[in-house]
Amino acid sequence: MTTPPPRPALRADARRNAERLVSAAREVFAERGVDVPMDDIARAAGVGNATLYRRFPTRRALLQAVHRDEIDALHARSQELLAAPSPDEGLATWLRELAMQGSTSRSLATALMNALKDEGADVSWCRETMHAAAAALLDRAQRAGSVRGDITAGQVLKLVNAVAFATEGGPDAQRQADRLLTVVMDGLRSRD
Amino acid sequence: MTTPPPRPALRADARRNAERLVSAAREVFAERGVDVPMDDIARAAGVGNATLYRRFPTRRALLQAVHRDEIDALHARSQELLAAPSPDEGLATWLRELAMQGSTSRSLATALMNALKDEGADVSWCRETMHAAAAALLDRAQRAGSVRGDITAGQVLKLVNAVAFATEGGPDAQRQADRLLTVVMDGLRSRD
DNA sequence: ACCTGAACACCGTTCAAGT
DNA sequence: ACCTGAACACCGTTCAAGT
């Protein structure tokens, strides 16, 4: 769950094509949005369109692959923050970093929304990695009594990603996301 | 802004076709989702597809028309709640009703998301009506000092609709939305 | 085992012809 | 003024043929 999805042994050319597809998709998604035609991604990668489908059966799977490193980094960051002096600040810091990244990348916000809303097996790695990261920090803060107990990691993730998704694209997206996250964090903290 | 978009005088048959299109779209969106082919909606309404495009140039415009009555009702409800004894409870009640409706209707949640995220003129009626409703209740609560002053009506709407959108479709959607809205409302209230 | 481009089915949008 | 179905362009997905 904390390790990326298996990388089956691929023939050298297949491996190279897969990497080109992910790189091309990253650029094209960023420039032209997440609804860009699949054929355009294949063309940008210099491979046939059927090769794209063979490697990434759904657009969501491709989106997940594009953001694999960021998702891994968010998970690693959550492990670091488990050592933060204040449990609720550890959680708040992680959620803020998540919201900041999502609010500046429609592509990432969409990848996370796909993984959090649907149950699809093609995005289970993303869903489980994010869930593990959030659950560890949330659980610690709840045990310390600084965050309300009547909420789950899945709900917190949906809420914060919804903030990112709703602010993305607008003017001043980061600032807006930050403002909304402050509201959410205040709501998450236990009442005295 | 508080009145629905102009209903230009239409010939009797055109008027009837427009009503059939809205009714058909409401049913088809509810049964098969908001991405259903436009041709299927026209067929369900018993009119040619070009008639659909003539009347509703974009899918968003059609979605807005489908939810016209609900949006009107939400606006009317906000006017009623301005007379609630407690300003922050008036706001909380309205936001809860909004979240409940959105979390049980992907079609409504999508219509609102379209109107709140984009600046498109084709959904300006929805955006402005919702904004007027939220702004009145929020302003009253902020003046009373019970809700934090550093947030705008547009931000509150995005946040609450994001809650609806994120919970919609899942199991126990209403309950989940209610839970998340409690968190959001706690975050919105001024700290003592 | 993997790649390719073409074929196929489908959908959004426009338009010439009708009433 | 409005309606219609067909035409057109485009996109997702599959498949026969290649290496």
Please tell me the distance from the alpha carbon of residue B99 to that of residue B185, in angstroms, as a whole number: 12
State the smallest CA–CA distance between residue B84 and chain A in angstroms: 23
Identify the pLDDT of residue B6: 56
Predicted confidence band at B191 (pLDDT cuts at 50, 70, 90)?
A: confident
Q: What is the pLDDT of residue A126?
A: 97
Say whether pLDDT at B2 is over 50.
no
The gap between A117 CA and D14 C1' (Å) is 29
CA-derived radius of gyration, chain B: 18
Q: Do A117 and B170 touch (CB under 8 A)?
A: yes
Per-residue pLDDT band for A7 (boundaries 50, 70, 90) equals: low
- Residue A9's pLDDT band (boundaries 50, 70, 90)? confident
Please name which of A64, A55, A57 lies closest in space to residue A19, comparing C-alpha atoms. Answer: A55
Sign of the CA dihedral running A33, A37, A39, A40:
negative
Over the stretch A19-46, which tens digit does the pLDDT of each residue have?
999 999 999 999 999 999 999 999 999 9
Average pLDDT over residues A164-174: 89
Residue B10 has pLDDT above 60, yes or no: yes
**Percent of residues, chain B, with pLDDT higher than 70:** 95
Which one of A158, A175, A190 makes the best mutation probe of the B interface by having the most chain B beta carbons within 10 Å? Answer: A158
Taken in order of first residue, the domains within chain B and their CATH numbers are 8-57 (1.10.10), 59-188 (1.10.357.10)
The model's pLDDT over B86-128, given as tens digits with 9 standing for 90+, comes to 999 999 999 999 999 999 999 999 999 999 988 889 999 999 9
Average pLDDT of the residues of chain A: 94
A28 close to A44: Cβ distance less than 8 angstroms = yes
Distance CA A101, CA A172 (A): 13
Secondary structure of residue A147 in the 3-state scheme: strand
Judge whether residue A10 has pLDDT over 90. no
pLDDT band for A117, please (50, 70, 90 cuts): confident
Instruction: Report the protein residue whose CA lies nearest the C1' of nucleotide D12.
Output: A38
Mutate to test the interface with B, among A59, A118, A175, A186 (most CBs of B within 10 A): A186
pLDDT per position as a tens digit, A127-151:
999 999 999 999 999 999 999 999 9
- Cα gap A111→A34, rounded to integer Å: 9
B158:A167 CB<8 A: yes
Which pLDDT belongs to residue A5? 58
Taking an 8 Å cut-off on Cβ atoms, the answer to whether A186 and B186 are in contact is yes
- Please say if the pLDDT value at position A4 is more than 60: no
In this prediction, residue A3 carries a pLDDT of 44
**Alpha helices, DSSP H only, in chain A?**
12-32, 38-45, 49-55, 59-66, 68-81, 87-104, 106-117, 124-143, 153-167, 173-188
Alpha-carbon separation of residue A70 from A110, A130, A142, A154, A178 (angstroms)? 13, 11, 26, 19, 19
